[in-house]
Amino acid sequence: MPRMSLHIRPADPTDVPALVGLITALAEYEKLTHLLQITPEKLQAQLFGARPPAEAVVAELGEGADRCAVGFALFFTNFSTFLCKPGLYLEDLFVLPAHRGAGVGKLLLKHLAALAVERGCGRFEWSVLDWNEPAIRFYEAMGATVMPDWRLCRVTDDALLHLARRG
């Protein structure tokens, strides 16, 4: 059976319904659906409005019309006063359970690390739920440090460059 192509690309307005579905699946996985207030209209405004505060990339499997979204990453620019540089903050990364272990998450992180390097960011960081041991192990394997007091994952300096170039 031929291997399906995996593509990471910036989200566009046509991706909003798929992103809402993936974000809902993430909330279900984290048992946080009671906090979910997302609507297609709200997400459309936040990602594609006049001054979008966030960006997203979509991981798709397949070719042409047969492509389907299997994961996403939503992120924004933050700023480090100590480094006096912008940073890239990953708000959410999610891969549908049926597609985990196939390199989708690694490719999403690599894509964002490369974007952080391209934008001159001093760091790339995110938070992880303390009970999510599979995610913690995955992030550490990708070069992130789980900050014990902050519960933040941070990739900086050589680790950021290494992650951006990881094959």
Q: Enumerate domains of the chain plus CATH numbers.
A: 6-165 (3.40.630.30)
3-class DSSP assignment, residue 141: helix
Kindly give, in sequence order, each residue whose CB lies less than 8 Å from that of residue 163, ignoring residues fewer than 6 positions away. 109, 110, 113, 124, 142, 143, 155
Which residue do the tokens 């891969």 mark? 95
pLDDT tens digits for range 129-144: 888 999 999 999 999 9
Write down the number of H helices and E strands in the chain: 5, 7
- Residue positions annotated with a catalytic role: 139
Instruction: Specify whether the CB–CB gap between 73 and 105 falls below 8 A.
Output: no
DSSP 89: E
pLDDT tens digits for range 21-66: 999 999 999 999 999 999 999 999 999 999 999 999 999 998 888 8
State how far the Cα of 106 lies from the Cα of 122, in Å rounded to an integer: 20
Instruction: Specify whether the CB–CB gap between 34 and 70 falls below 8 A.
Output: no
Which pLDDT value is given to residue 7? 93
Please compute the mean of the pLDDT values over residues 94-113 and round it to a whole number: 95
pTM of the full structure: 0.86
**How do 85-95 and 123-127 pair as beta strands?**
parallel
**Range with the lowest mean pLDDT among 23-27, 70-74, 105-109, 146-150?**
146-150
